[in-house]
Amino acid sequence: MSTAPQLDIDLIAKLARLALTPGEKAKFAQQLGDVLHHIEQLSKVDVSGVEPTAHASPVFNVWADDIAQPGLSAEAALMNAPAQRDHMVVVPKVVE
């Protein structure tokens, strides 16, 4: 029998900064409940003494000299900004 905890869809949507409609919440909670039930299988694996794998590349630390490299111009960096003025991104007011 599954011991999968109930996914608190309101809390997770808030953490993910994702505004979901009531319909989406109900649907995702049910669908992800099924997926989580499936994922419960992982609790059967004996992982004692096993190191986690973050990625499979035999590269572990990469150093680079701290030298400035050519980058994007301000125009190129801002070409996709939804709103901009004087080489700055315009955002809603955050301080009264």
Please say which residue, 1 or 47, places its beta carbon nearer to another protein: 47
6 binds another protein (CB under 8 A): no
18 binds another protein (CB under 8 A): yes
SS3 content of the chain, % helix, strand, coil (to 5): 35, 5, 60
Going from the C-alpha of 9 to that of each of 31, 38, 73, the distances in angstroms are 12, 18, 41
- H helix count then E strand count, the chain: 3, 2
39 binds another protein (CB under 8 A): yes
Residue 34, amino acid: D
Q: Is 56 exposed, middle or buried (0-12, 13-18, 19+ CB in 10 A)?
A: exposed
Q: How far apart are CB 66 and another protein at their closest, in Å?
A: 13
Q: How far apart are CB 1 and another protein at their closest, in Å?
A: 17
User: Rule CB under 8 A: which residues touch another protein?
Assistant: 5, 7, 9, 11-13, 15-20, 24, 28, 31-32, 34-36, 38-39, 41-43, 45, 47, 50-59, 62, 64, 72, 76-77, 79-83, 89, 91-94
